[in-house]
A and B are shown apart, each in its own frame.
Chain A
């Protein structure tokens, strides 16, 4: 697209406004987190790190952070364990009901989380799986496996299945083909799927609200419970920590996979 200076200016302005619109909440939270007030206000008037100190002093937050970290790690691991073979089967095998399987794997994305949460509560309550790690992880698996399946399928889509056949004719058995040919191909999809699963589980609020309780409280739920009674800069500080964590994870993946990709083509 070739445009004159006026056109370029208008385009630049539009992009800036769009980014401001998207980032405004994060910017405001970031600014407020350094305020010295005991309630949330904008624009801030003081400048202190008290809010951050409060977050790390709060025992509820610390235990909730631990719950979320454990849940997200196990969820990501199990989502990979289930999602990677599923993706391999869906993209490499021809079997009866393949399409039904495919929709089944992607359907949790179509159901509103609040419906899922309610359904899981009804299902889990009598077992009882509510307020347990098992219940929380099972619930999170339902919404993370589809992402792993999708990222791994996407990395397989660009690969030539004949390369696997070529490896077989060169003397590689099924296991060796999987390790030497398929694994390097799907690695980017596996890593990004795992990170996405971790972040989704770490951020998951709605479903967690239904299936968690007093003993196993993940961080987003703890945050909600906190702001029910108070709204001070501590919550903003916690939010900033969560944003930084997510951004770090995404950047790390992008850097490592981006590097791999550039090596491949360069």
Chain B
């Protein structure tokens, strides 16, 4: 199931071993990021703050010069092309609108730079504002717009010049929760309508998984995994990805027997657990990952019918779900479980339950000393 495609296919936008070091700072901000974005697709660069994702985006935009590596668009090396000739649309986290211009003035700026004739400029500005549903506010001062409206102006301003690539830096982080959901769909709709190759940076896994065609997870300046949202969530390449993308129970163990991709893993305190992994081998150390919502707890089931017997330690009611903490056996590992509320009466703390999970668990490789550069497709299975 390895995917040679992403590396081998000539992507529309290719990052080749990008490195950024800052003088006087220990370690590199970005330590060799290589990835490829297909034409017309949307890539999310996901990672915690300080992982180098914004620096990577700024290197693509030409706002930061890489210390090493190349940026290619349509196979053409643009690493030394200055930002104003790269033809990339950028939407900044702060929106970075021009406060002395009105909405139409902001949107038309890029067209003026490209010496587009006045009549066509007016037409395209209107078009772009219609695309973001702001055509009724063309004459408004940008300081008098709401956050969501400013966001749309920034998007229209970047799109009106028909850039080859659209780059979004944390586009939704300054919006409130409700607006964020709306704008998530808006951005996705606009991206589909325009068919523009898009890269966006986010620290929000929901944003990344729901919007993007592929997700690049970054951690400490490295690319941890590049894959589809399903791959990243269901088959994380390592502990960091497993825990950063969604919640995960990670139970360290050793592979005992292997049959194809299926491994029987000895987990201390839990016994033998069957898990699928990426080319597991007997003796491999790793962790068995089970997502909390996959775990069922049954107080009525007879002992031995599930994977393990355990005791409920705590139950937290959040409205939509009940979050449990369960201890396996008397002194086994603790697990998180999460169930939709209302399906049954919540288990009270102290209840003895039979623990089971649907489907096979996933074997996540143990952390190994990371190589200096990560290759696209690494770890994806």
User: A: which residues have CB within 8 A of B?
Assistant: 159-160, 162-163, 165-173, 176, 180-181, 184-185, 263-266
Task: Tell me how far the C-beta of A189 lies from the nearest C-beta in chain B, rounded to whole angstroms.
Answer: 13
Whether the pair B90, A171 counts as a contact (CB closer than 8 A) is no
- By a CB distance below 8 angstroms, the chain A residues around B184 are none
The answer to whether B62 and A169 touch across the interface, beta carbons within 8 angstroms, is yes
Other-chain contact of A171, B63, B85, B141, B144 (Cβ < 8 Å):
B85
B25 contacts partner chain A, Cβ-Cβ < 8 Å? no
Given A162-B92, A265-B144, check contact A169 B99 (CB 8 Å): no
Contacts beyond the supplied A169-B158, A264-B99, A265-B143: 11 A-B pairs with Cβ under 8 Å: A162-B93, A165-B63, A165-B83, A165-B92, A166-B96, A166-B97, A168-B83, A170-B161, A171-B161, A172-B113, A185-B100
Q: How far is the CA of A264 from the CA of B102 in the complex (A)?
A: 9
Q: Is the CB of B99 within 8 A of A173?
A: no
Provide the B109-142 mask, 1 if CB < 8 A to any CB of A, else 0: 1100110000000000000000000000000010
Q: In the complex where A171-B113, A172-B113, A264-B141 touch, is A166 in contact with B90 (Cβ < 8 A)?
A: yes
- Would you call A160 and B114 a contact (CB within 8 A)? no
In the bound complex, do residue B98 and residue A181 qualify as a contact, i.e. CB atoms below 8 Å apart?
yes
A169 to B113, CA, bound (A): 10
Asked if A264 and B157 make an inter-chain contact with CB atoms under 8 angstroms apart, the answer reads no
Offer 27 A-B interface pairs, CB within 8 angstroms, sorted by A. Answer: A163-B97, A163-B98, A163-B99, A165-B83, A165-B96, A166-B96, A166-B97, A166-B154, A166-B157, A167-B109, A168-B62, A169-B62, A169-B158, A170-B109, A170-B157, A170-B158, A171-B84, A171-B87, A172-B109, A180-B109, A185-B99, A263-B141, A264-B99, A264-B141, A265-B141, A265-B143, A266-B141
CB-based contact B84/A172 at 8 Å: yes
Q: Which residues of B contact A (CB under 8 A)?
A: 61-63, 82-90, 92-94, 96-100, 109-110, 113-114, 141, 143-144, 154, 157-158, 161
In-complex Cβ contact of B61 among A169, A171, A172, A265 (8 A):
A169
CA distance A180 to B99 in the complex (A): 11
Contacts of B63 in A (CB 8 A): 165, 168-169
Complex CA gap A166/B143 in Å reads 17
Which single residue of chain A is at the shortest CB-CB distance from B161?
A: A170
Q: Shortest Cβ distance from A63 into chain B, in angstroms?
A: 43
- Given A171-B113, A264-B143, A266-B141, are A160 and B84 also a contact pair (CB < 8 Å)? no
Tell me if B94 and A160 are in contact (CB < 8 A).
yes
**Do B98 and A169 have beta carbons less than 8 Å apart?**
no
B113's partner among A162, A176, A184 (CB-CB below 8 A) is A176
* Complex Cα spacing A167 to B86, Å: 12
Closest chain B CB from A87 CB (angstroms): 18
Given contacts A163-B96, A181-B98, contact A169 B143 (CB under 8 A): no
* CA A191 to CA B120, docked complex, whole Å: 36
When distances are taken between beta carbons in the complex, the residues of chain B under 8 Å from A264 are: 99-100, 141, 143
Shortest beta-carbon distance, A11 to chain B, in Å?
34
